[in-house]
Chains A and B, each alone.
Chain A
Amino acid sequence: MQGSLRCAEVEAACQDLSLRTLAQIDGDFARLIYLASTRDYNTGEYYHDGLAWQFSEKIAQDALALCHQMVFRRLVLCSVKELVAQLETYASSTHLSPSDFVRTWSCLQPYRVVIPRESTAITRYFFISNVRTALAVFDSRQVAAPQRPQSA
């Protein structure tokens, strides 16, 4: 009984997070980056003050973890073509030039740290391989496309 009540609370928190925060973020890739950024590197726990205040810290943590897994799942199961489109959307939101974005991402490989902890090794590898490929395709498109003049 207590378990199902807790489950319902996590669901409610997850829905609240999706409607209030994630819906405002353009694209699943940006959502993944955002959700991963709410996770502490040392403890692996998620933190969100607003959600914790509205529900409880534990419920907020579980809701963030659940949303993180759901968004990651969607990205893992999408095609490389869709992933390129997601990357393009995300890159355009960073206010960096596409070439700078590709250079930084190829060098730092931040996509490695945005994977949920519960993911299996084969899923992690599949995701990393797809993002790396999508990044290379994105880069090749930038090279092929004529350079647009920078606005002042």
Chain B
Amino acid sequence: MIVDPYLLLAATTLLIVVMLVSRRSVSRRFDDAMFRDDTPGPEQWDSLSLELGAQIFSSEDLDFVAQGSSSKLLRSFREERAALALEWLEQVRDEIGRSMGEHVRAARVSRGLRTVDELKLALEFALFQLSNRVLYCAVWLHGPLAAGNLVKYSTRLAAELKGLLQNLPLAGSVAVEIIKDDSKRSVVS
């Protein structure tokens, strides 16, 4: 099947426009949201702010509001939660970035640095940045509940894959060989 490149481009552009329009309500709410205020005094981040993550991505509240509430209330609640989730992810990223910046400044003048530890930290930081941005995109496109479902889906897939690998005799024997090989190496070392 030959696909016209212009048609493909037009379809992609249309899809992006539709996505942007559908997310406009979240962006609008996001702009006038009060968590963008510059009230002096409180810190930008505390332990309670971190704990909010579990609440924001939980489906419990959304399920409750969906039961017997008007569609207007449900839509408004969804939009607020999406805006909160995006802001939360951004603040976590900023906070970790700030801590990393402080570490880098301290590391520049430190003499007792261990290369392995620093590389491990850098790798963890890169992975965190990547996962945070992927989650941000997922929330922006489908809301916090969908992002939470993404995690559940991934966990379910992992469990299914594990079950499949255990049932496959070849994969099972390979896994046993790897384990045996690893244990031999550890005994030698």
Contacts and interface: CB of A to CB of B under 8 A. Distances in A.
Given A124-B34, A125-B34, A128-B34, A118 B42 contact: yes
Interface string A56-93: 00000000000000000100110111000000000000
Interface residues of A, number: 25
A88 to B, nearest CB: 14
A125 B35 contact: yes
Given A118-B42, A140-B69, A140-B73, A123 B52 contact: yes
Interface stretch (A6-14, A21-29, A129-137): A129-137
Which residue, of B41, B55, B81, has the highest number of chain A Cβ atoms within 10 A? B55
Nearest to A125: B35
Interface string A8-45: 00000000000000000000000000000000000000
Given A125-B84, A129-B84, A120 B49 contact: yes
A120 B34 contact: no
A122 B68 contact: no
Q: Chain B: interface residue count, which band?
A: 20 to 34
A119 interface: yes
Given A77-B55, A81-B64, A126-B55, A121 B39 contact: yes
Contacts of A124: 34-35
A79 B60 contact: yes
B70 interface: yes
A63 B51 CA distance: 23
Contact of B52 (A80, A122, A128): A122
A117 interface: yes
Contacts of A122: 35, 49, 52, 84, 87-88, 91
A80 B69 CA distance: 13
A96 interface: no
Contacts of A123: 46, 48-49, 52
Nearest to A141: B68
Given A80-B64, A120-B49, A122-B91, A129 B69 contact: no
Contacts of A80: 61, 64-65
A80 B59 CA distance: 11
Interface of B: 33-37, 39, 41-46, 48-49, 51-52, 55-56, 58, 60-61, 64-65, 68-70, 73, 77, 80-81, 84, 87-88, 91
Given A120-B48, A129-B81, A140-B68, 10 more contacts: A79-B64, A80-B65, A81-B64, A119-B48, A120-B46, A122-B91, A129-B84, A133-B80, A141-B68, A144-B68
